[in-house]
Amino acid sequence: MNASPAVTEADRREFREHGVVALRGVLDLGIIAALDAPVARAVAGDPSTADLSALGDSLTGPPAAAGEGRGRFHSGVDHWLDDIEMRHFATESPLPGIVAALLESRELFLYEDSILVKEPNSLEPTVFHQDHPYFSVDGDLVCTTWIPLDPVTRETGGIGYVRGSHLDDTQWRPNLFVTRDPIPGRPGRDVPDFHTDPGDADIVWIDAAPGDVVIHHARTIHGAGPNRSLDTSRRAVSVRYCGDDTTYRERALTPKPHHAHMVDGDPIGPPGFPVVHP
């Protein structure tokens, strides 16, 4: 078993049973502050960062409340490939050791990183979805970490997780994040619209602060509201990791160039999946 003072057996049990766990204050605030600059660079013009507000407008039209002062929802992936500070955080910070301890995995591999920024008064919710259909890997030890750079509440776009949904073997169809429209040609059932009809789902909405790390299983269904604040951003970095016995399976809408040498069934490993622990 991997040792980490940030992870307890109760945390592991929470993750196994509910598919999500919030680890409070486990990252030094200096580490979080060092992410300010790379996140700002990503939003300012990194070609791997998309304006999801513009995507939503193109699919459904601008929200009725859109107007002057509307914020944008930015999302990007694989910044670690070109940004040394993002690479250092994903591969050499305490985060990989924390994740390996939670998963009880002998080894840990980097899948991707992401930035997720909802500016003040950004109107788009993040539609409920499951990460697994977007990831080109198979295995049970696959997870997403979510690291806030700002205090996050339900008002500013906090995330809700459907507890226990990672234990359901239903094949869910991936959507476009800012609309429930599915990605064309993908199999499975549409994820229910828990924003408008939570039904009897066990949804936990998690407030978080800089220094916290929220970790969910790749099969845990989750979504977030808009950022209704007029003066507070919701900036976050997300890093996705894979543990022992994970294999490759191509699912990406746009295959990653650094995975071009992989074929379905291959065990993951360098160079496309860097070893980050031990």
So what's the pLDDT on residue 263? Answer: 94
Give the CATH number of the domain where residue 74 resides. Answer: 2.60.120.620
So what's the pLDDT on residue 64? Answer: 65
State the pLDDT confidence band at 3, using cuts at 50, 70 and 90: low
Examine residue 277 and state whether it is found in any structural domain, yes or no: no
So what's the pLDDT on residue 128? Answer: 97
Examine residue 272 and state whether it is found in any structural domain, yes or no: no
DSSP labels for 148-173?
ESS-B-TTTT-EEEETTGGG----EE
Cβ-based neighbour number of residue 115 at 10 Å? 26
Q: Is the pLDDT of residue 170 over 70?
A: yes
The total number of structural domains in the chain stands at 1
pTM: 0.94
Examine residue 4 and state whether it is found in any structural domain, yes or no: no
Residue with tokens 């300010």: 36
Q: Is the pLDDT of residue 210 over 70?
A: yes
End-to-end CA distance of the chain: 12
Bridge partners of 217, per DSSP, are 143
So what's the pLDDT on residue 61? Answer: 73
- Give dist(CA 118, CA 261) in Å, integer: 35
Examine residue 1 and state whether it is found in any structural domain, yes or no: no
Mean pLDDT along residues 138-151: 97
Examine residue 271 and state whether it is found in any structural domain, yes or no: no
Mean pLDDT along residues 51-70: 78
Ranges 158-167, 190-199, 223-232, 248-257: which has the least confidence: 248-257
pLDDT tens, residue by residue, 214-244 = 999 999 999 999 999 999 999 999 999 999 9
pLDDT tens, residue by residue, 72-84 = 999 999 999 999 9
Contacts of 189 (CB under 8 A, 6+ apart): 170, 171, 172, 173
pLDDT tens, residue by residue, 76-109 = 999 999 999 999 999 999 999 999 999 999 999 9
Q: Is the pLDDT of residue 15 over 50?
A: yes
Share of the chain above pLDDT 90, in %: 81
- Give dist(CA 278, CA 275) in Å, integer: 8
- Give dist(CA 222, CA 60) in Å, integer: 22
Examine residue 81 and state whether it is found in any structural domain, yes or no: yes
Examine residue 278 and state whether it is found in any structural domain, yes or no: no
**Domain of residue 165, residue span:** 9-266
Q: Is the pLDDT of residue 5 over 80?
A: no
Whether the bond into 47 is cis, omega within 30 of 0: no
Cβ-based neighbour number of residue 179 at 10 Å? 16
Examine residue 62 and state whether it is found in any structural domain, yes or no: yes
Helices (H), 81-168: 84-92, 95-103
- Give dist(CA 233, CA 213) in Å, integer: 18
Q: Is the pLDDT of residue 261 over 50?
A: yes
So what's the pLDDT on residue 65? Answer: 72
Residue with tokens 């071009």: 260
